[in-house]
Amino acid sequence: MSEVAQDNNQGKKKGKTKKMSTRVDFTPMVDLGFLLITFFMLATTLSKPQTMEIAMPSKDKISDEDQTKIKASRAVTILLGKDNKVFYYEGTRENNVDPVLVQSDFSPKGIRQFLIKKNYDIMVKVRELKAKKVSQKLSDKDFEKQRDEIIADKKAPIILIKGTIESSYKNLIDALDEMAICNIGRYAIVDITPFDLDLMSKKL
Amino acid sequence: MPKVKIKRKSTAIDMTAMCDVAFLLLTFFMLTSNFTQKEPVAVNTPSSISEIKIPDRNIISILVDAKGKVFFGADGQENRVKLLTKMGAAYNITFTPEELKEFSLVNKFGVPITGMKNYLSLGTKERDMSQFSIGIPCDSLDNQFKNWVSVARSINSEYRIAIKADQATTYPVIKKLMGSLQDIKENKYNLLTSLKLSADYE
């Protein structure tokens, strides 16, 4: 830099080989820079896709003794219908009385309200835990551990998600989402039974 | 006199600063970017509130389009070569080194193993055309999908399975896939979703 300045001075003194400006026009370089930026911006995926981790039961034959029968009072069955409709009922058929099938949807005021009501105690506990975490009294690890303990509560509802052939993948994801939102620890994706289909056809 | 002086002012702006900014941004994008990989079909994933990110490497990606066509992809070029060799052996098809090399560059494919030779001989553009990418058979008669996954897992046990399906994919297709995975005792996998924009859940 200092040399350049000297050159300039000398040039001025001589008055002949002067005015050779050392300034370079940066405009094309800027153009190039922005062109490359544009390319990289378009070619990249800045945000990694979100993922839902799911664990399915294994298909091994389980003998009847090993199978835990869930209490009817804890069971809630969610049926995914066509056109994003969703139905749910509690318990199962008892004393020849069909459970009441309720039609709902995946909006915040739909099935979520029911699940929140059903799982209220646990949601309150988890919320308290979250507040603790936010105020930094809990580490992430402890938070997860304690949350897992809470949602594994014996009285918590057990949700069975059953899809009809007319439902879509989106419905399934929505249903799994509701499980996450309502802090439901126990849920399973199971095959639909003729009984469920029958209930649905009666409702429709 | 003052008027003349104003006229002499050059209109050229010093571009150096702008150049600096441009290249700074360029450096940032170059360092943070991992390139979008071309997918054989456009898939519109459903949104969820889940915030877990998927790891970059060791992923078996299963792509399901709205019509239920299944595509398969595993990362790592060496693993791909091993994968095709093993799969070929299982179906009594021998692939030439050229074909293996070509296959190692294929990100995701959706052809039955019998059509693989023909598929690899096609150009990159033709491959994505729907008559060539008919999806991997995954019904109970001829479940090649199951074999692809189990062979890939036997090559690299660190592979994790990620299913990326379209919103409109029907439930039976997903159920069939989940059933196939259950058959080979792959009970943990990831479902790819996009972030839900409205966080109105609390």
Tell me, what CATH number does A87's domain have?
A: 3.30.420
A165 and A107 housed in the same domain: yes
Q: Is residue A35 assigned to a domain?
A: yes
A110 and A34 housed in the same domain: no
Residues of B in contact with A53 (CB under 8 A): 52, 188-190
Q: Is residue A166 assigned to a domain?
A: yes
**For chain A, what is the mean pLDDT?**
78
**For chain B, what is the mean pLDDT?**
82
A164 and A106 housed in the same domain: yes
Residues of B in contact with A46 (CB under 8 A): 32-33
Average pLDDT over residues B68-74: 87
Please state the pTM of the whole predicted model. 0.75
To the nearest 10 degrees (0 to 180), the angle between helices B144-155 and B171-183 is 50
Could you say which residues from 42 to 81 on chain B have a Cβ atom under 8 Å away from some Cβ of chain A?
A: 45-54, 56, 64
Q: Is residue A65 assigned to a domain?
A: no
A37 and A97 housed in the same domain: no
Banded pLDDT at B12 (limits 50, 70, 90):
confident
Could you tell me if the ipTM is greater than 0.85? Answer: no
- How many domains is chain A built from? 2
Average pLDDT over residues B36-43: 76
Question: How far is it, in rounded angstroms, from Cα A178 to Cα A158?
Answer: 13
Mutation for testing the A interface, residue in B14, B21, B29, B180 having most A CBs under 10 Å: B29
Mutation for testing the B interface, residue in A46, A170, A181, A196 having most B CBs under 10 Å: A170
Residue spans of chain A under pLDDT 50: 1-12
Residue ranges making up the domain that contains A14 = 2-43
Strand ranges inside chain A, DSSP E: 50-55, 75-80, 86-90, 102-104, 158-163, 186-190
Mutation for testing the B interface, residue in A173, A176, A181, A189 having most B CBs under 10 Å: A173
Average pLDDT over residues B127-152: 81
Average pLDDT over residues B20-31: 89
pLDDT tens string A3-53: 444 444 444 455 566 677 777 788 888 899 999 999 888 887 766 677 888
A26/B30 Cβ within 8 A: no
Q: Is residue A175 assigned to a domain?
A: yes
A114 and A167 housed in the same domain: yes
Question: In chain B, what is the straight-line distance between the N-terminal and C-terminal CA atoms, in Å?
Answer: 71
Average pLDDT over residues B76-105: 86
Q: Is residue A170 assigned to a domain?
A: yes
pLDDT at residue number A53: 81
Share of chain B above pLDDT 70, in %: 91
Other C-beta atoms lying within 10 Å of the C-beta of residue A200: 20
More confident residue, B169 or A203: B169
A87 and A31 housed in the same domain: no
Contacts of B191 (CB under 8 A, 6+ apart): A51, A52, A54, A173, A176, B162, B163, B164, B165
Contacts of B121 (CB under 8 A, 6+ apart): none
Query: Is B88's pLDDT higher than 80?
Result: yes
A83 and A22 housed in the same domain: no
pLDDT at residue number B2: 56
More confident residue, B140 or B31: B31
Average pLDDT over residues B181-188: 84
Q: Is residue A52 assigned to a domain?
A: no
Question: How far is it, in rounded angstroms, from Cα B166 to Cα B44?
Answer: 5
A27 and A110 housed in the same domain: no
A39 and A87 housed in the same domain: no
A169/B167 Cβ within 8 A: yes
DSSP element (H, E) containing A136: none
Query: Is B130's pLDDT higher than 70?
Result: no
A98 and A177 housed in the same domain: yes
A93 and A174 housed in the same domain: yes
A115 and A165 housed in the same domain: yes
